[in-house]
Amino acid sequence: MKLNTRIKLFVLVLLTITANSISAQDKQSPKNATQMKSLGEQLDERAQWAQQNFSKEVKDIYANGVESVIASGIYERVLKVGDKAPNFTLKDQMGKELALYDMLKETPVILTWYRGGWCPYCNLTLHALQDNLDEFKKAGANLLALTPELPDNSMSTAEKNELEFSILSDLDNKVAREYGLVFKLAPDVAKIYDAKFDLKSYNGNNSDELPLAATYVINKDGVISYAFIDADYTKRAEPSEIIKAIEAIK
């Protein structure tokens, strides 16, 4: 074998070994490790961080806030599996009007609410939904996310999270109210939110109202076939469960 040929062969082997090494490192990288975690695991980690870093006073205020939502009777008011989903027309982050029942003519719809781009649990959830967007479509459904944020803020949230699905601004929680999802923040929680990020400016009103971070799967007949409802804002619908719910629609 000629010397040049031997050198070329050696270089080729070296490049192959290096590429395989880099690939192995990529698989073990923190980013990919995070992507392999379920949404529930990521949310639990964030909740544990809050437990370790927030003062006892703040933790008590947030815990009491969740209890006040439950005590309001919201679980009795929310729409549930088997209920007819109210139709609505809202504008997405690009200013385009979308009507729920128009979309249902084509496919079932995943309808999910998030509190705002200021909410770390919401951002983790939006990322997870984006990561599973192709799987939702493959299962045969489209995804709509509603938020009480003003349109400029919902646009910012969509851009920050690189979202490829529609974000609809539900100003003053008008649609969320029809689904029974609206609650008023406990006064102590509202004070913290105003001090931290000015909730009133995010939503363009002084109501101190938010929607539960609920998720529905609505079949083409407009009937709710899956519902995730939890007053605890650290809990969200797992994408794998949403996919199962879509596939269960006959």
Question: Residue 74 class from Cβ within 10 Å (0-12 exposed, 13-18 middle, 19+ buried)?
Answer: middle
Tell me the average pLDDT of the chain: 88
Helices (H), the chain: 3-27, 30-36, 39-53, 56-71, 74-77, 100-104, 120-131, 133-139, 151-160, 174-178, 187-197, 199-203, 239-247
Quote the pLDDT of residue 55. 97
The helix/strand/coil state of 228 is strand
Digit-coded pLDDT (tens) for 195-246:
999 999 999 999 999 999 999 999 999 999 999 999 999 999 999 999 999 9
Give which of 112, 101, 108 is closest to 39, Cα–Cα: 112
Residue 34 has pLDDT above 60, yes or no: no
Please state the pTM of the whole predicted model: 0.84
Quote the pLDDT of residue 24. 42
Digit-coded pLDDT (tens) for 186-201:
999 999 999 999 999 9
Digit-coded pLDDT (tens) for 145-161:
999 999 888 888 888 87
Percent of the chain with pLDDT over 70: 86
Residue 26 has pLDDT above 80, yes or no: no
- Find where tokens 């920050």 sit: 160
Domain 38-247: homologous superfamily in CATH: Glutaredoxin (3.40.30.10)
Quote the pLDDT of residue 135. 97
Give which of 94, 78, 92, 50 is closest to 211, Cα–Cα: 78
Residue 84 has pLDDT above 70, yes or no: yes
